[in-house]
Amino acid sequence: MKHQFDAFIDDLKSTHGRNLASVVLYGSAVTGDFVKNQSDYNLLIALHKITPEDLRAAQAPMREWSRLGHSVPVYFTVSELQNAADVFPIEFHQMEQAHIVLYGENVLEALNISDEFLRHQTEYELRSKLIKLRRAFIPASTTNQSLTALMANSLPDFITVFRAVLLLHNVAPPIAKHDIIAATAQHLKIDGKPFEKILDFKENNSAKTLDDKSANQLFADYMKQIENVIEAVDKV
């Protein structure tokens, strides 16, 4: 990916000039959990100022980046990163823990992340994702393939929130997804096996070994353990 990153950064430098402060890679590509053809390259672009003209000018580099199959990065101003850190503690804790500066200054180095709203955001994210999961199950339950895809695609979002769950319990979250699951199961005293099974067949493309009965039972176990995590957060 180095040549693609280099070319993209050159395009950003040509587009934004001195207004470009930093380009930061974070997420699974840094933690070692990246799955080819499934995971995204998560990029944060920091500008000194952001106007509609700045965003309009970004159309050309973003068009090429998207053509290569990548999602559009998030844009922040340098000052916003400080001011927004307490509003999005989950996301910024994740960025702070594992990131690589591809260009410019390390705008995440001196973040002042307040955990005042961490419990609220954590419970909100878990409950909203569970509601979304239940809704998605209705159409996905018609085929084994759709159901296994639903579990595989939804789990990474829950694991991201599990990092925040560990922080709420004064536990430094690991970086790798398997380690996060193990730590969450250990400290919350829940069964982590459903999460491990889903992550294994996501990484190894082995979901085809599940029959309908096994897939439906795994989903039931999956949903039950998510409910157990929410219950534990609610008691914090």
Residues 143-162: tens digit of each pLDDT = 988 999 999 999 999 998 99
User: What is the percent of the chain with per-residue pLDDT over 90, rounded to a whole number?
Assistant: 58
Question: If you average pLDDT over residues 216-229, what whole number do you get?
Answer: 96
What's the CA gap between 20 and 12, in Å, rounded?
8
Extract the runs of DSSP E, i.e. beta strands, from 40-165: 42-47, 74-77, 99-104
* Confidence (pLDDT) at 39: 57
Do the Cβ atoms of 181 and 196 come closer than 8 Å? yes
Q: Contact 70/39 with Cβ under 8 angstroms?
A: no
Q: Average pLDDT, whole number, for the chain?
A: 88
pLDDT computed for residue 31 by the predictor:
67
d(CA 1, CA 159): 25
Question: Which has the closest alpha carbon to 206: 218, 198, 214?
Answer: 198
Can you give the C-alpha Rg of the chain in angstroms?
A: 19
Is residue 40 within 8 Å of residue 71, measured between CB atoms?
Answer: yes
